[in-house]
């Protein structure tokens, strides 16, 4: 993975300050969405925030620590079910939901990490992919959790709807700022050192495994929190919703699109990707997926280093054109 | 037994996937889409020109090889040296694109191929064996053997392996990497095409048929060891067997009957995890450098 | 340097486009707009299209015949679709969009139980009535939703017809093997079938599920084969029916009959399986053999409907088409009875609705579920789909037991 | 600050081959020990054993009274033993300054240091090694000599008592070598014990107080530079060995070529 980020063209750990400023500004802007008093926008942007939080979770382990996980959806899903279980036991408190989800997933990630974080590269990737699939299938087979029929949480009414939005906004903001402060702290530098070269990191006194597990846990907590808010907001959860391929792939795609291993990347990626997807879905009903795919292909070819890199680009168009051939064989 | 037979297809799907990943360091999310295209090539030949599916095997290989070659040469090649996640994103986009074009061309209708021999079977030691699946298994074996031979003996094969080991060195020794990559990717797509043809015989055809195979391809090629052809074969068979065994298991937890077949993927992946813990680079995998 | 501000602006601009309320598609006042999130891409594309055909067919008819009368004013109808990509987690957003952006008057259900459930939740919150014809999972109707109505018989009853038919054959089926996909709908169907069988002295010799993403069910089938049942039923969708039927032949599994939920009734089934599709039973919400005399306002008999439909879409109307059309009909009659477009008035009218149509009776129990219409059983007899059960509607004698593979 | 390092009968086997065989010697605190030997003689392997990358097959390593043979790398580093890598390993995505700061954060005194303090420390060290001018650049952009300097700076950031230098001068030209030697002397002057692995005899002779010679994994000589270099078995080990040729080449060839040589993988380890 170290090769991966070497070529991001981002020097310094938090990536590009301009991009981060823009991201913060946009995040602040999203605080005013409920002012539109339009449930549709609430939902659209709540989902964007949700994906952003999940993307930040993935970015910590996949982007900063260089362990590419395909299983973070498990944390989101378990987070959802924590709220589900509480709700079926008559507890309808977002705080409780988030608290439980974060605690459970921190523990789960910790235990799991001790096993899977021994693996490297693709082998880690597949092991985590398996975790996602396995957790989903196990839950689908537990009648206690509703099995494939899922769980119906208390019905969402108009009054709550805004609350869920703000809750998700807080989760996303926390994930973004969390990432920012983590990555500027000693811990963050340990993550990146591990990503860049585990042996060299060890030679500098960094216990790699310990920090891998930390990154994995922190990431899990972000995804879990997003799930804990999503479940009651959606009012109903089942394995096909909480462990959907989208919830697994989108955060990764968004992070790559925005810029791996940067603080602004996941959020900007989420905003653009979900935003464009929404517009296509709406105005090109019959072929939106086709256009969506085409757009992704073009973005990768035109901005192989992610959108955030554009902010840091020096030398204008010429430099950009030159950069396009950088990865040719 | 069912497991081994089912594993044949998985193996063929996984071999191509594993080659591309192992040699080019590209996780080709469009692999499932290639499988689907292979199936449609076979279907069109069968429906329009009444070509027997088995005769169309080479055709779908060639067609898909061409497609794969072109895609690599003119699209992926622009970012082929980029970090694995970049190409991951690219192929994600490509698969969306291909599947939805297919949806426009062939609609969502499910199609099937009925031949004189489809479904025919023989019984061996009390086990019923469908000819088609047996052939699939044989095909998997033949492909593995041939590929292995080609990779080790032929000039191109050696060039490919050299490239896999060290691009720089390969280039210095006059290997045209871009071309090699295109060939490998074409090969991967071609094998997907072959798999598609065989799947078309034992299952139904529709634009989304490829997706479920992608996940198992992931598991299989890692189970066997990335980039290892025999690995993918063994991985495929093992994976098939695990799932089959899981299906036959039933147990009760807290008064609830849990049937293994509902959990076959979970079981398969848990076994995969165990394998990786003891052999961190898969069954046939080499030690990590 | 040039690019930096451009990039910043780009991001902001895009954010803005999404933020700024899009032009709302609120149609002119003499059109009633229905909205439906539906599977236009993804795994359930085919089923989605069948549903859409059912809706569109009704729309064309109504508009051609002067629209829906509300009081003394006639309204044209329009239906707005969005693609849920066959994913349960996208339909929520689409439903909100239909209601808040496009200001649709009413919702027509998506295809599939999972999606229907999600949309039902939103319909409830927004107090917009939804009638759906393609989500039979009963869990949808056990939530106490007031604004969701289903015109179809509940999942658990899907296979009852097939089982009932089988026990009345000579030789009567004494044992049944049940296979099912792991999704909610299929599970409810399977449980319903098992319960019915036990209640009617039928032995359930095998009852097992497989992941709904399975690409190969051979191991399930060889397990089932050992139990050699008189009847084999599968609870699943078209894909499952095809997989299982091919698998059964692959392993030369012989039984008196083979019954499926979704599958045999869709043209795809016979098209893909050819001869091997013969003698298979399909549970159906409706068939063009049913003998109802519907109220005026639409085609009054199944036969008229089927004829006109085939003329329009060049394939035989299957029950997905019919139940989708029926959903629209429920609205048509309810709106006329309510004499208003007010969601609550229409909702009450739906709750009180009690009409006979080409599709059968449209009447909802307290949960909003149409439990008053029987299922029918079709059998594919040399390539043609004929209704064989209930006996009263039978177009042909049941072929039982099925001849050996290869002799069909 | 006065802990001796004792290598006691260390043996390291890879497959059938003993890369190290019964190697024993002691490094007194405050000294500079040169470790030389032809390619494949086991120098880097020994570095890896001391720094905990490899666990020796036989024998032991003591730091003061403490057995460190099976202490993990990061812990050894925190005991005050730092090392540089023959193949430099900068954190390419980080700036030069950040690279060094990471060392300051997790080294022997790292626990006590805040992030800010670590960066302050990094700046000092960049001054010392003469990298201040490129502090803000990504490490990936550095020239070979600068990478070597960075490697040393990172090691120093760990506040080591004992510093293992693995071929920090390979691939440098004459003036660069002199600068490097000067740097090492300054480091030593701060009371850091040095173990210097080098090919360049001239460098070793000029800086070491004691020299240990390895050949085919065995210690064949130990003593002051002069006595070691006159020892017949040492001469035998070197004359006609590939090493002599390589020296000849090195003098002949131009910078890029040397860069190329530098990046070729280490023969041992």
Instruction: Look at A197 and D72 and tell me if their CB atoms are within 8 Å.
Output: no
Instruction: Look at C274 and B114 and tell me if their CB atoms are within 8 Å.
Output: yes
Residue C68 pLDDT > 50? yes
C131-153 average pLDDT score: 89
Interface of C with B in 27-46 (CB under 8 A): 41-43, 45-46
Q: Which of A219, A302, A317, A300 is nearest to A257 (CA)?
A: A300
Please write the tens of the pLDDT for every residue from B10-42: 999 999 999 999 888 899 999 999 999 999 999
Q: Which of C273, C257, C215, C191 is nearest to C402 (CA)?
A: C257
Interface of A with C in 262-281 (CB under 8 A): 268, 271-272, 275-276, 278-279, 281
Instruction: Look at C22 and A282 and tell me if their CB atoms are within 8 Å.
Output: yes
Instruction: Look at D158 and A205 and tell me if their CB atoms are within 8 Å.
Output: yes
Q: Give the span between the Cα atoms of A52 and A226, in whole angstroms.
A: 9
Collect all residues of chain A within an 8 Å Cβ-Cβ radius of residue B167: 329
- Please, do chains B and C touch (3+ CB pairs < 8 Å)? yes
The count of C-alpha atoms lying within 13 angstroms of the C-alpha of A77, restricted to the half-sphere facing its C-beta, is 28
Q: What is the mean pLDDT of chain B?
A: 87
Comparing C5 with A148, the larger pLDDT belongs to A148
Interface check for B207 against chain C (CB to CB < 8 A): the answer is yes
Instruction: Look at B112 and C211 and tell me if their CB atoms are within 8 Å.
Output: no
- Interface mutation vs chain A, best among B78, B94, B217, B253, most A CBs within 10 Å: B78
C166–chain A nearest CA distance, Å: 29
C133-154 average pLDDT score: 89
Instruction: Give the E-state strand segments of C113-269 in sequence order.
Output: 130-132, 148-150, 175-181, 203-210, 231-235, 257-260
Residue B257 pLDDT > 80? no
Please write the tens of the pLDDT for every residue from B172-226: 888 888 899 999 999 999 999 999 999 998 888 999 999 889 888 888 888 888 8
Comparing A190 with B289, the larger pLDDT belongs to A190
Q: Give the span between the Cα atoms of C4 and A308, in whole angstroms.
A: 10
- C367 with C355: CB under 8 angstroms? no
Interface of B with C in 117-136 (CB under 8 A): 118-121, 123, 127-128, 130, 132-133
Please write the tens of the pLDDT for every residue from B82-136: 888 889 889 999 999 999 999 999 988 888 888 878 778 888 877 788 888 888 8
Comparing D256 with B170, the larger pLDDT belongs to B170
Q: Report ipTM (2 d.p.).
A: 0.86
D47-56 average pLDDT score: 91
Residue D150 confidence (pLDDT): 93
Output the pTM of the full model: 0.89
Interface of C with A in 135-154 (CB under 8 A): 137, 139, 143
Please give the backbone phi and psi of residue D177, each rounded to the nearest 5 degrees, phi first: -60, -45
- C31-38 and B256-259: which strand pairing? unpaired
Residue A2 confidence (pLDDT): 36
Nearest C-alpha in C relative to A241: C89
User: Touching C: which chains, 3+ CB pairs < 8 A?
Assistant: A, B
- pLDDT grade, residue D155 (50/70/90)? very high
D106-133 average pLDDT score: 91
Residue D42 confidence (pLDDT): 87
Q: Per the structure block, which two tokens stand in for B56?
A: 């169309």
B237-255 average pLDDT score: 81
C140-147 average pLDDT score: 89
- Interface mutation vs chain A, best among D91, D100, D136, most A CBs within 10 Å: D91
Collect all residues of chain A within an 8 Å Cβ-Cβ radius of residue C18: 44-45, 275, 278-279
Q: Which of C169, A329, A309, D52 is nearest to A319 (CA)?
A: A309
Q: Give the span between the Cα atoms of B274 and B282, in whole angstroms.
A: 10
User: Touching A: which chains, 3+ CB pairs < 8 A?
Assistant: B, C, D
From D78, D89, D115, residue closest to A197, measured CB to CB: D89
- D96 with D142: CB under 8 angstroms? yes
User: Touching B: which chains, 3+ CB pairs < 8 A?
Assistant: A, C
Q: Residues of chain A whose pLDDT is less than 50?
A: 1-11
Residue A17 confidence (pLDDT): 80
Instruction: Look at B121 and C406 and tell me if their CB atoms are within 8 Å.
Output: no
Q: Which of C367, C391, C396, C398 is nearest to C142 (CA)?
A: C367
Please give the backbone phi and psi of residue C243, each rounded to the nearest 5 degrees, phi first: -60, -50
Instruction: Look at B262 and C249 and tell me if their CB atoms are within 8 Å.
Output: no
Residue B277 confidence (pLDDT): 83
Assess whether the previous peptide bond of B131 is cis (omega < 30° from 0): no
- D32-36 and D210-215: which strand pairing? parallel
DSSP symbol at C1: -
Collect all residues of chain C within an 8 Å Cβ-Cβ radius of residue A157: 125
C336-356 average pLDDT score: 95
Interface of B with A in 217-246 (CB under 8 A): 218-219, 222, 226
Q: Give the span between the Cα atoms of B40 and B98, in whole angstroms.
A: 12
Q: Which of B182, B191, B199 is nearest to B61 (CA)?
A: B191
- B83 with A259: CB under 8 angstroms? no
- What is the number of H-type helices and E-type strands within chain D? 11, 10
Collect all residues of chain D within an 8 Å Cβ-Cβ radius of residue A14: none
Q: Which whole-number Å values give the CA distances from A116 to A120, A190, C155, in the listed order? A: 9, 19, 41
Nearest C-alpha in B relative to C241: B204
Interface check for C340 against chain B (CB to CB < 8 A): the answer is no
- Interface mutation vs chain C, best among A41, A149, A281, most C CBs within 10 Å: A149
Q: Which whole-number Å values give the CA distances from D12 to C340, D41, D50, D217, in the listed order? A: 91, 12, 12, 9
Collect all residues of chain B within an 8 Å Cβ-Cβ radius of residue A144: 254, 256
- Please, do chains D and C touch (3+ CB pairs < 8 Å)? no
Nearest C-alpha in D relative to A190: D102
- A236-237 and D162-166: which strand pairing? unpaired
Question: Could you tell me which residues are beta bridge partners of residue C283?
Answer: C377
Residue D261 confidence (pLDDT): 39
C227–chain B nearest CA distance, Å: 13
H helices of chain D, in order, are: 43-50, 73-79, 96-106, 115-129, 144-156, 174-189, 201-207, 225-230, 232-238, 242-252, 255-263
- For the four alpha carbons of A284, A286, A288 and A294, in that order, the dihedral sign comes to negative
Rg (CA), chain B: 19
Q: Kindly report each contact of residues A99-107 with a partner whose C-beta sits within 8 Å and lies 24 or more positions away, as own/partner.
A: A100/A228, A101/A224, A101/A225, A101/A227, A101/A228, A102/A221, A102/A224, A102/A225, A102/A228, A104/A78, A104/A79, A104/A224, A105/A75, A105/A78, A105/A79, A105/A220, A105/A221, A105/A223, A105/A224, A106/A217, A106/A220, A106/A221, A106/A224
Residue A7 confidence (pLDDT): 36
Collect all residues of chain A within an 8 Å Cβ-Cβ radius of residue B278: none
Instruction: Look at B218 and A126 and tell me if their CB atoms are within 8 Å.
Output: yes
Residue B4 pLDDT > 80? yes
Interface check for A84 against chain D (CB to CB < 8 A): the answer is no
Interface check for A320 against chain D (CB to CB < 8 A): the answer is no
- pLDDT grade, residue C21 (50/70/90)? very low
Residue B22 confidence (pLDDT): 87
For C380, the 3-state DSSP assignment is: strand
Q: Give the span between the Cα atoms of B13 and B64, in whole angstroms.
A: 13
Residue C2 confidence (pLDDT): 45
Q: Which whole-number Å values give the CA distances from A281 to A19, A73, A289, D19, in the listed order? A: 28, 24, 8, 64
Instruction: Look at C187 and A148 and tell me if their CB atoms are within 8 Å.
Output: yes
Lowest mean per-residue pLDDT among B71-75, C204-208, D12-16: D12-16
Residue percentage of chain B with pLDDT more than 70: 97
Q: Which of D132, D98, D130 is nearest to D115 (CA)?
A: D98
Residue C27 pLDDT > 60? no
């Amino acid at each position: 993975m170290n090769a991966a980020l070497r070529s991001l063209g981002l020097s310094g750990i938090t990536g590009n300050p301009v991009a981060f400023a823009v991201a913060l500004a946009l995040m602040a802007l999203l605080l005013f969405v409920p002012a539109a008093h339009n449930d549709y926008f609430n939902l659209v942007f709540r989902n964007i925030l949700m994906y952003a939080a999940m993307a930040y979770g993935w970015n910590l382990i996949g982007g900063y620590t260089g362990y590419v996980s395909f299983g973070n959806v498990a944390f989101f899903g378990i987070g959802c079910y924590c709220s589900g279980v509480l709700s079926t036991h008559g507890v309808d408190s977002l705080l409780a939901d988030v608290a439980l989800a974060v605690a459970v997933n921190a523990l789960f990630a910790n235990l799991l990490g001790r096993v899977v974080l021994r693996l490297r590269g693709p082998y880690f990737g597949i092991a985590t992919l398996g975790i996602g699939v396995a957790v989903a299938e196990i839950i689908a087979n537990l009648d206690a959790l509703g099995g494939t029929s899922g769980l119906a949480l208390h019905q969402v009414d108009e009054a709550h709807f805004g609350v869920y939005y703000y809750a998700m906004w807080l989760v996303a903001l926390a994930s973004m700022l969390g990432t920012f402060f983590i990555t500027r702290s000693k811990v963050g530098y340990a993550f990146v050192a591990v990503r860049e070269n585990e042996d060299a990191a060890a030679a500098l006194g960094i216990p790699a495994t310990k920090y891998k597990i930390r990154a994995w846990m922190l990431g899990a907590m972000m995804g879990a929190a997003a799930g804990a808010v999503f479940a009651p907001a959606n009012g109903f959860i089942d394995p096909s919703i909480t462990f959907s391929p989208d919830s697994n792939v989108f955060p990764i795609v968004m992070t790559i699109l925005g810029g791996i291993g940067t603080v602004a990347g996941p959020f900007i990626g989420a905003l653009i990707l979900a935003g464009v997807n929404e517009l296509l879905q709406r105005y090109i009903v019959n072929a939106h997926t086709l256009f969506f795919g085409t757009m992704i292909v073009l973005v990768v070819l035109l901005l192989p280093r992610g959108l955030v890199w554009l902010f840091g680009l020096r030398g204008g168009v010429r430099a950009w054109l030159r950069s396009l051939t950088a990865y040719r064989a | 037994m069912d497991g081994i037979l089912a594993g044949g297809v998985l193996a063929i799907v996984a071999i191509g996937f594993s080659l591309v990943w192992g040699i080019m360091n590209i996780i080709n999310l469009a692999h499932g889409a290639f499988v689907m295209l292979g199936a449609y090539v076979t279907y069109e030949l069968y429906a329009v020109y009444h070509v027997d599916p088995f005769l169309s095997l080479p055709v779908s290989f060639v067609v898909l090889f061409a497609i794969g070659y072109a895609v690599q040469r003119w699209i992926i090649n622009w970012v082929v040296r980029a970090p694995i996640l970049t190409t991951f994103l690219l192929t994600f986009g490509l698969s969306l694109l291909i599947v939805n074009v297919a949806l426009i061309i062939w609609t969502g209708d499910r199609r099937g191929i009925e031949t004189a021999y489809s479904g025919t079977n023989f019984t061996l030691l009390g086990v019923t064996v469908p000819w088609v699946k047996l052939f699939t298994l044989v095909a998997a074996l033949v492909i593995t053997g041939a590929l292995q031979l080609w990779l080790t003996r032929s000039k191109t094969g050696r060039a490919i392996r050299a490239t896999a080991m060290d691009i720089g060195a390969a280039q210095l020794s006059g290997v045209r990497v871009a071309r090699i990559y295109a060939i490998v990717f074409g090969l991967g797509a071609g094998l997907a095409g072959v798999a598609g043809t065989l799947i078309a015989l034992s299952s139904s055809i529709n634009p989304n048929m490829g997706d479920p195979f992608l996940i198992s391809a992931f598991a299989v090629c890692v189970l066997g060891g990335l980039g290892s052809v025999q690995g993918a074969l063994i991985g495929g068979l093992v994976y098939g067997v695990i799932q089959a065994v899981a299906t036959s298991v039933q147990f009760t937890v807290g008064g609830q009957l849990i049937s293994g077949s509902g959990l076959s993927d979970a079981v398969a992946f848990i076994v995969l995890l165990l394998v990786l813990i003891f052999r961190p680079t898969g069954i046939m995998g080499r030690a990590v450098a | 340097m040039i690019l930096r501000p451009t990039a910043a602006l780009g991001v902001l601009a895009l954010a803005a486009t999404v933020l700024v309320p899009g032009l709302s598609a609120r149609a002119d006042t003499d059109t009633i707009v229905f909205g439906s999130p539906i599977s236009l891409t993804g795994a359930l594309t085919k089923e989605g299209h069948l549903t859409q055909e059912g809706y569109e067919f009704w729309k064309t008819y109504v508009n051609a015949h002067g629209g829906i009368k509300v009081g003394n004013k006639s309204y044209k109808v329009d239906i707005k679709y969005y693609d849920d990509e066959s994913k349960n987690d996208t339909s929520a957003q689409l439903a909100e969009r239909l209601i808040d952006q496009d200001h649709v008057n009413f919702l027509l259900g998506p295809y599939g139980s999972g999606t229907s459930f999600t949309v039902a939740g939103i319909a409830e919150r927004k107090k917009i009535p939804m009638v759906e014809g393609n989500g039979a999972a009963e869990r949808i109707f056990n939530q106490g939703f007031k604004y969701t109505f289903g015109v179809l018989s509940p999942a658990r009853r899907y296979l009852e017809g097939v089982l009932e038919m089988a026990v009345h054959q000579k030789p009567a089926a004494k044992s049944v093997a049940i296979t099912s996909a792991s999704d909610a709908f299929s599970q409810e169907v399977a449980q319903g079938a098992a319960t019915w069988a036990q209640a009617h002295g039928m032995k359930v010799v095998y009852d097992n599920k497989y992941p709904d993403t399975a690409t190969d069910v051979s191991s399930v089938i060889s397990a089932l084969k050992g139990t050699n049942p008189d009847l084999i039923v599968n609870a699943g969708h078209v894909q499952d029916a095809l997989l299982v039927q091919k698998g059964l032949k692959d392993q030369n599994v012989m039984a008196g009959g083979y019954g499926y939920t979704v599958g045999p009734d869709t043209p795809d089934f016979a098209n893909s399986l050819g001869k091997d599709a013969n003698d298979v039973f399909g549970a159906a919400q409706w068939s063009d053999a049913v003998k109802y005399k519907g109220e005026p306002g639409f085609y009054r008999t199944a036969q008229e409907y089927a004829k006109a439909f085939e003329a329009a879409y060049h394939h035989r109307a299957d029950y997905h088409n019919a139940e989708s059309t029926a959903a629209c009909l429920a609205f048509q009659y309810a709106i006329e009875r309510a004499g208003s477009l007010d969601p609550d008035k229409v909702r009450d009218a739906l709750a009180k609705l009690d009409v006979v149509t080409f599709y059968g009776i449209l009447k909802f129990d307290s949960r909003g579920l149409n439990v008053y219409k029987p299922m029918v059983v079709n059998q594919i007899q040399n390539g043609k789909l004929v209704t064989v059960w209930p006996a009263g509607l039978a177009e042909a004698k049941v072929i039982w037991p099925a001849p050996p593979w290869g002799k069909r | 600050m006065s802990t001796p390092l004792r290598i006691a009968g260390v043996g390291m086997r890879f497959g059938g081959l003993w890369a190290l065989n019964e190697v024993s010697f002691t490094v007194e605190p405050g000294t500079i020990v040169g470790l030389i030997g032809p390619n494949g003689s086991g120098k880097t392997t020994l570095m890896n054993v001391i720094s905990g990358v490899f666990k020796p097959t036989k024998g032991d390593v003591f730091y003061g009274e403490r057995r460190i043979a099976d202490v993990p790398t990061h812990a050894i580093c925190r005991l005050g033993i730092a090392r540089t890598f023959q193949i430099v390993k900068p954190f390419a995505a980080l700036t030069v300054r950040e690279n060094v700061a990471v060392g300051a954060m997790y080294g022997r005194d790292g626990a006590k240091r805040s992030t800010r303090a670590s960066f302050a420390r990094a700046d000092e060290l960049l001054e010392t090694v003469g990298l201040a001018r490129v502090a803000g650049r990504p490490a990936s952009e550095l020239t070979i000599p600068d990478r070597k300097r960075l490697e040393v700076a990172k090691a120093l950031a760990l506040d080591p008592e004992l510093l293992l230098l693995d071929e920090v001068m390979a691939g440098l030209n004459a003036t660069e070598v002199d600068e490097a030697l000067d740097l090492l002397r300054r480091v030593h002057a701060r009371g850091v014990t040095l173990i210097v692995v080098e090919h360049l005899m001239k460098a070793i002779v000029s800086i070491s107080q004691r020299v240990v010679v390895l050949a085919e994994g065995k210690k064949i000589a130990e003593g002051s530079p002069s006595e070691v270099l006159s020892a017949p078995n040492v001469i035998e080990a070197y004359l006609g060995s590939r090493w002599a040729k390589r020296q000849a080449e090195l003098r002949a060839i131009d910078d890029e070529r040397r860069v190329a040589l530098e990046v070729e993988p280490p023969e041992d380890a």
